[in-house]
Amino acid sequence: MKISRRHFIGKSCAAASAAAFASGLHKFGMVAAYAQGAPATDYKALVCIFMDGGNDAWNTIVCNDEYAAYSAVRGPIALPQATLLPIQPRSDSRQFGLHPNLPGLKTLFDQQRLAILCNVGSLSRPLTQAEYRTNSSLRPPNLFSHSDQVAQWQAATAALSTPTGWGGRTGDRTSGLNGPATFPLMVSVAGQQLFGLGGSTIPYQISSSGSVALRGFNNSVESNLRFAAKQQLLTMDREHPFVATAGDTLGKAISNDQQLVQALTTAPPLTTVFPNTGLGNQLRTIARLISARNVLNMKRQVFFCRFGGFDTHAGELAAHVSLFNELSNALSAFYAATVEMGAADSVVAFTNSDFGRTFRPTDNGTDHAWGSVQFVVGGAVSGGDFYGRWPTLTIGGPDDTGTSATDFGRFIPTTSVDQYAATLARWFGLPAADQTLVFPNIGRFASANLGFLP
């Protein structure tokens, strides 16, 4: 059967990366356009770790001073007080404890390299308990829905539908800091995600082992000829917008992969040992890319990784043992790798999750809720402290959405995702003049800088 050039290019794009192809066409006929501006002289990277499913904040951190009340409500999922890992935030006189399977994070907190964000969540504006109960239009749309809250966290906009993520929009405004570098600013180790998609920023998707090159080619003479022919085909039929865009997307993917393979081959090897887990392997690959920053001539990079299992409607105690072991070990290794590379002050890793979970359990698990806690790790982080207000964990109390002591305890966030993300983006290099373009609702909140970064 005779195969047309257009058909061949289309098939090749699908083989190279269906997700990358879709991303490349998110604005038809356009490829990534780099922002203008002077190149940066320093290096900075943001690493988003998305905990899929909605992590239970109230078993991640426990207030020891309120342990009796905590235990009375949590019942079968209450953590034994003697097992909690003690931490003392500088700005709070109360005693707190981390989940016993987060020893690596305790060490980072004690070293003042880890900050904790308290009661953070999706908000369209600051919201009082009375407003929540009397005016549903002020609530973020579709609260307690996984897909909607994931989108609102990744977009940093409490809207029903947003086509771009805050990482991508930040990339749109800061890619000029990379100067002549041609490797993508945004890299996802977890497939296509809203977080990294901007107006012109397109995430480069790789696997947890690195390269996702075209398959079926080797170093033989015949293979090299076929590969050269494929590249030549990408220059043809340019008068057709769809074919031109497909060719540009595949050509860029080939170029990116060649740069990736060369950089990882040339970059200094890392001696830090990462755990052989899903998150450990993702963070190992990100660390290897950061080690190649000089080879790639990069000054700004944003990375996204993701691991699931946090939708703990049942079996939460056992699930958290595994999940928190994975998080603690992988994040500790990642920070150690940044120290090894001499880049600890230049890299900030931070967690996100769909939402928090109910304070009152549903048998041996928890249901979807709202406000939660998040972690920020890095040499530049002003750690060893809490940012935002620790909520009053009383069912029917002043921070609860419910009105009765028989409710489940869904706490209204007092810190917004917008503020959290804006603090990270400002440190990364987002110009103050562009802040409202990336975070359109930020002016509704008291501060756009939570203070955990310089």
Query: What is the residue extent of each domain of the chain?
Result: 43-212+274-444
CATH architecture of residue range(s) 43-212+274-444? 3-Layer(aba) Sandwich (3.40)
Q: Using CA atoms, how far apart are residues 32 and 447, in angstroms rounded to an integer?
A: 32
pLDDT tens, residue by residue, 228-244: 555 555 455 555 555 44
DSSP β-bridge partners for residue 45 = 301, 347
Cα torsion through 24, 30, 34, 35, rounded to 10: -120
Q: Is 378 exposed, middle or buried (0-12, 13-18, 19+ CB in 10 A)?
A: buried
CB-based contact 189:444 (threshold 8 Å):
no
pTM listed for this prediction: 0.87
pLDDT averaged over every residue in the chain: 88
Q: Hey, what amino acid is at 172?
A: D
| Residues 207, 188 contacting (CB under 8 angstroms) | no
Q: Around Cβ 86, how many Cβ atoms within 10 Å?
A: 11
pLDDT digits (tens, 9 = 90+) for 269-299: 999 999 999 999 999 999 999 999 999 999 9
Residue 363 C-alpha from the chain's centroid: 31
Burial environment of residue 256 by CB neighbours within 10 A (0 to 12, 13 to 18, 19 or more): buried
* Position 147, amino acid: S
Q: How far apart are CA 387 and CA 277, in angstroms?
A: 30
DSSP β-ladder status, 61-63 and 96-98: antiparallel
Give me the residues of the chain with pLDDT under 50, please: 1-3, 5-34, 214-215, 234, 243-244, 246-248, 250
Contact of 356 with 60, CB cutoff 8 Å: no
The 10s digit of each residue's pLDDT in 90-102 is 999 999 999 999 9
| CA-to-CA separations, 200 to 61, 174, 179, 284, in angstroms, rounded | 39, 11, 16, 28
